A and B are shown apart, each in its own frame.
Chain A
Amino acid sequence: MTAPLTQRQIARGRRRAARRRNWLIFRTHRSGVVGLVVLSLFILVALLAPLLVPHDTIEVTKATGGILEPPSSEYWLGTDQTGRSVLALCIWGARISLLVGLLATAISIVIGTLIGLMSGFFEGWPARFLYRFTEWFLVLPFLLLALVMSAVLGRSLAIIILVIGVTSWPSTALLIRSQTLSVKERPFLERARALGAGRWHQMTRHILPNVMPMVFANTTLTVSIAILTETTLAFLGLGDPTRVSWGSMLEDAFDVGAMTTGAWWYIIPPGLCVVAVVLSFNLVGQALEETVNPRLRGR
């Protein structure tokens, strides 16, 4: 005779079933699936980069190609102004661009969720202050803020990640806050409170799981923004010059005059990579959102 399932097992079973359901719904969105496939491809390439293309290939001191050569059988995407293969640079650039995007998003989500939860859940002036603070942050000219922070703190990869994370949390915070506000009024939460649940317990055990699906969908969109931001910062000259990213490739291409010299192989591929990855994240995010928010599904 099987033992009766515990409360936790029931909950877990329910969640598993919900996830399976969501996956089935997600699968019906062709665009989302396409996005997922493309993303997986890029992530795979980024992870396997050292195997595909040894690090030597992108070191300036070991460059063997000619200067800004067009694509040939040896260099499929041509060379850059120091003789390195553009294809190798794209592959290694994927690592940095994806890394920065994901880590910066992680920071942004953590800060945003925390602040959003607190300002939505708590009453009184701490919550209002947090809300004001979020609003005020949203009002600052983001790019200028990023420029200033980079100028002050320097240009290492860690700084760039920090800068992007710290300047993009407000939208997450606002989203979480509005979600929290609506979840807060739901009956099951009142019941938990009546049963004596403490504030922390309410936040983590009740509100957070209900808010998580939205957060998840929001995350993919935040990543796409983070990657675009990194590319823009690198283009403006704020990236880490010792690392190759798609943004720094475009910056070099622009500085070197790719338009005049006609080096289309230097300008187009990195841009296309960025578009592909960001688009995939957006597609996945949209499909996720439609999965999670029934109102947006077909009539």
Chain B
Amino acid sequence: MKIVVCVKQVPDTTEVRLDPVTNTLIRDGVPSIINPDDKAGIEAALRIKEEVGGTVTIVSMGPPQADVALREALAMGADDAILISDRAFGGADTWATSSTIAAALKKLDYDLIITGRQAIDGDTAQVGPQIAEHLGIPQISYVEDIKVEDGTLLVKRKFEDRSHLLRAKLPCLLTCLSELNESRYMSIGGIFRAYKKDVQVWGLEDMKDTVDMANIGLKGSPTRVRKSFTKQAKGAGEKINVPEDEAVAIIVSRLAEKHLI
């Protein structure tokens, strides 16, 4: 089975701050990792490959530094890695990002595409389903279990109050949860192999047959960030630091005033 896994390199924390002057994210000193849901996607792909044979290709869109994330995926056992990187692709929203990644995937031969459910920096969960739509293939999101049966997939999808057991023919796109599996560590041999392999870098020129210039980068993005800001606190009320019995009496009287008791 030819499996493609789409991954994103993200900052290893949700504790990022805004620079008060430039109003941009302070990323300095924050290490980058493979997005956790995407890493579960790599693991799922490697397990399917081990079971039924095939290849695992990793695709990422991002700046040249994302090479590190792709090398990590190679060290885990992936066969090939492609970095989609070009200034023309920068500033993309989820629509333009998914259009660009779909344009790259159109150049590949695939049976199954796996993405993470959502990235921990943007939290949108939109790019996976949008890629599926651009490619015209079905999607199953929130995947928590995958079985391959006679060339079809038997997939368990988790919603809030129920799970669906679904059967899908290939090709198909899955978006998976980090709870799907425990991903393996890079092996020493894997790390050596990863640095012997080439990460292919695809720019605009390499994708000119499949990419639509109207659908990429900032210009191809239907949405724009009007402004970003750090959240305003609601504003503190009254704070008391008094003996316990007195504190209890104050709480009771406030609750009574508000008709909450």
Asked if A and B bind, the verdict is no
Instruction: Give B residues with C-beta under 8 Å from A.
Output: none
